Structure formats: structure tokens, C-alpha cells
Homo-oligomer: A and B are copies of this chain.
Amino acid sequence: MSSSLKMNRKEMIAFLEQEFPQYLGEVSQVEEDYSLLRLPVDTSHLRPGGTVSGPTMMALADVALYVALLSKIGPVALAVTTDFTCHFLNKPKSDKALMAKARLLKQGKRLIIGEVELYSEGDTETLVAHVVASYSVPPAK
């Protein structure tokens, strides 16, 4: 069975802890088609009304896409976000973990574009936010 993955979940976690020790969330899955991040919600992420803040959702989506990207191109610390568009759709549940499922839309040599669906754990049908973002990657040597 061939795979296009250059890093598995365990390698991903080791890489992130080395390079981005402050990253948000837990790496739940690193699959061929998608990567899944999970953020146990605590009060520090909440804003008035008992909902997870928008910037927290965007930060988690950014990590999720970064993981999806790294899983395909390998441990390259230099990918940088060039654009990031988020639509906030429904209020996340304050008592459920926030999930971010990322997949690549295009893997180009210079630009990689992906999307992320965010939802409250256990309710994949009700998206709380949707992200599309682009990453500039250094030319392969």
C-alpha cells in the first residue's frame, strides 16, 4: 500500500513540539485525505455568551491546515500563511471540544491551498466555521 504521507501522527506531534511548542490543540488524526485537530475547550477560550472566540477558532484552523500541509510535504518549518478567509457559521458548544478537519485543495510547488471545517465534537453536521487559506512554501531543493 503506497501512501503520499511524509509524516505520520507521531512524527507530526514530535515536530510541532520541537518547532512550535505553543501550538493550539491536539493532533487527533493525520490521514491521506485530511488531518484532524481537537481543542478541549476551557474558560480561557470563551468569550461572553459562553462561546469559543473567533480568533481561537481561526488559530486552531491555522494549525490544522499546517498539519495537513506538512503531512504531504514533510517537516518544512518555513511554510507561511499568505491569505486566510474564515466564515463563522454557528455558535460552537461551550461544553464540547472544538474539532478542525483540514484538507488540501491544491498542492502546488509554490502555493498550497486548503480548507478547514470546524465543528463541535460529536456534531459533524453543524459546521461552526469554514476556512480557506493559502500557504507559500519554499522551493524544493
Is B62 touching A48 in the complex (CB atoms < 8 A)?
no
Contact flag A82-B111 (CB < 8 Å), given A47-B20, A87-B134, A89-B105: yes
Tell me the bound Cα distance from A54 to B59 in angstroms.
8
In the complex, the count of this chain's copies comes to: 4
Contact flag A86-B84 (CB < 8 Å), given A20-B48, A22-B44, A113-B130: yes
Determine which of B47, B62, B77, B82 lies in contact with A87 in the assembled complex, contact meaning CB atoms within 8 Å. B82
- Further pairs besides A82-B88, A83-B85, A85-B132: 15, Cβ < 8 Å: A22-B44, A54-B84, A55-B55, A55-B58, A80-B88, A81-B88, A83-B86, A84-B84, A84-B85, A87-B105, A87-B132, A87-B134, A113-B130, A115-B130, A132-B132
Q: List 13 A-B contacts (CB under 8 A).
A: A20-B48, A55-B58, A58-B59, A59-B59, A81-B88, A82-B87, A82-B88, A82-B134, A83-B87, A89-B105, A105-B130, A115-B115, A115-B130
Binding site for B on A (CB under 8 A): 19-20, 22, 24, 44, 47-48, 54-55, 58-59, 62, 77, 80-90, 105-106, 110-111, 113, 115, 127, 130, 132, 134, 136
Which residues of chain B come closer than 8 Å to A19, judged between CB atoms? 48
The 10 closest A-B pairs by CB, nearest first: A55-B59, A89-B106, A85-B85, A84-B86, A54-B81, A83-B87, A87-B113, A83-B83, A58-B58, A105-B130
